[in-house]
Structure 1
Amino acid sequence: MTKGDMSKPQILVIDDEAQIRKFLRISLAAQGYRVLEAGTGGEGLALAGQARPDLLVLDLGLPDMDGKEVLQTLRLTSRVPVLVLSVRAGDGEKVLALDGGADDYVTKPFSIQEFLARVRVLLRRSVPCDQARTLIDCGPLRVDLACRRVTLNGEDIALTRKEYAVIAMLAGALDRVVTQQQLLRDIWGPTHVEDSHYLRVVIGHLRQKLGDDPTAPRFIVTEAGIGYRLRESPP
C-alpha cells in the first residue's frame, strides 16, 4: 500500500452477510476509501481497537452479539463515527441505536447513493480518532479494553457483560467520578436511569470478585449520592 493510499479514510464494515460486505467493499473502494471487514461483533471490536478506522458501518443482527452491544462496548473507548446499517426498520430500534451512540441509521434494503452521501457527511463531521488508553493498570488490577479482559495479580477475573461494562467505563474515567445516571444510561439504556438497584447489584458482585471491602475499598470507591470511582493507585 502506497503512502497516498494510507492517507485515504479507512472504513470498517461489521456485517455477517458476505454479499453485503462485498457490495460495500466494492462501492466504498470505488470512492477511494480503504475498507476493513468483520463478520462478527467480537472480530469487529478487535479490528476497531487495532486499526482505529475513521468510520464504522455496523449491522445489528450479528451472530455472536447484538450490534447495540458492539456499539455500547465501542463507546467505552472510542468516538469513531458509527453508521448503523440494519434490516430493523422500527422507530424503537432506531431510537435505541441513536441513543446508544450511533451517529446515523440506514435501513436495508438501501440506496447506495444515499448510503455514500451519509458516509461523506459523517467523515466531514468526524474529529481525528482519539488515542484513548486501552490498557489500564490500577496497582494489581489491570483492565485491557482492547481484549475485554480484566486481571487481578495476573489472574483472569470472570465477569458478566454488565460487570465488564461497568468496570470498563470506570477504567475509562480513571480516578474520576462517573455518576450513577451516566452508568445506567450508557450501560442499561436511557429508560433505566432511575434503576439504581441494578447498578448496586453489579458493583456488589464486582467487589466480591475483586476481593474489595466496601467499607475500605482498594479499587471501587463509592461517592455517596453521586456515583463511583476507580482508584488509579490503590492503597
Structure 2
Amino acid sequence: MSIKENLEKIKKTIPEDVTLVAVSKTKPTEAILEAYHSGHRIFGENKIQEMAEKHAALPKDILWHMIGHVQRNKVKYMAPFVNLIHGVDSYKLLQEINKQAKKNNRAINCLLQIKIAAEDTKFGLNSTEALQILQHDTFKTLNNIQVVGVMGMATFTNNTTQVTQEFKTLKTVFNQLKQVHADLNIISMGMSGDYELAIQCGSNMIRVGSSIFGARN
C-alpha cells in the first residue's frame, strides 16, 4: 500500500478528536512529501538536527513535533519553528525552551514526559516530579512556553495487560496534573502497534511511523 493509502486507512480507524502524528524520523523528504500531498500536516522527528534540515527543505505549513529525547544545548536549533515538544523531562529543559522561544519571539507548546514503562531505557518524570514542575516558584514566569499535556511510552512488550495498565497510569497522572494546571488537554500515547488500545485508555494524540511509512530503515 502507498503512504497515502496507509494514512487514509489509519484515519478511518481513529476518532476525529484524536490527532495523528506521522513519525517521519529517518525517512527521506520524498516520503514526507507524499504524505503531505495526501493532506497530512503533522510530522514527528526524534533528532533535532534532522528535523531542522527537513524543516528547511519542506513546505512551511508543516507542523513539526519533536518526539525524542531533548538535549538542552540543541533546543536553539528547533526553537524558531517547532510546533510541539513531547519529551520535556526536567524543569531545566523547560527553562531552556522558554529562553530560546523568547529569543525567537514566540511561545512553544510542550508536553511533560511521564515515565510509565518498566524499562530503564525510557526517559520521563514520575507524577510527583511533574507536579513539582507545575508548582515551581518560577513556573508562572515562563511566558514563552505552554505546558499543554503529557506524553508517555509504554513498555515494548506483547503483554497487553501490562500496556493497558501503563496507559491507564498516564491518564490518571494527566487527571491529577490537570487539577493544578487547567491548560492540559493533550495525552500523547500510542504508536503503530498499540494506538487503538491507547485511544481506548484516553489518548487523543498518537505517534505512528511504520504503519504509515513502512518499516524503519
Question: Highest CA radius of gyration, 1 or 2?
Answer: 1
The alignment's TM-score, normalised by the length of structure 2, stands at: 0.31
The alignment's TM-score, normalised by the length of structure 1, stands at: 0.29
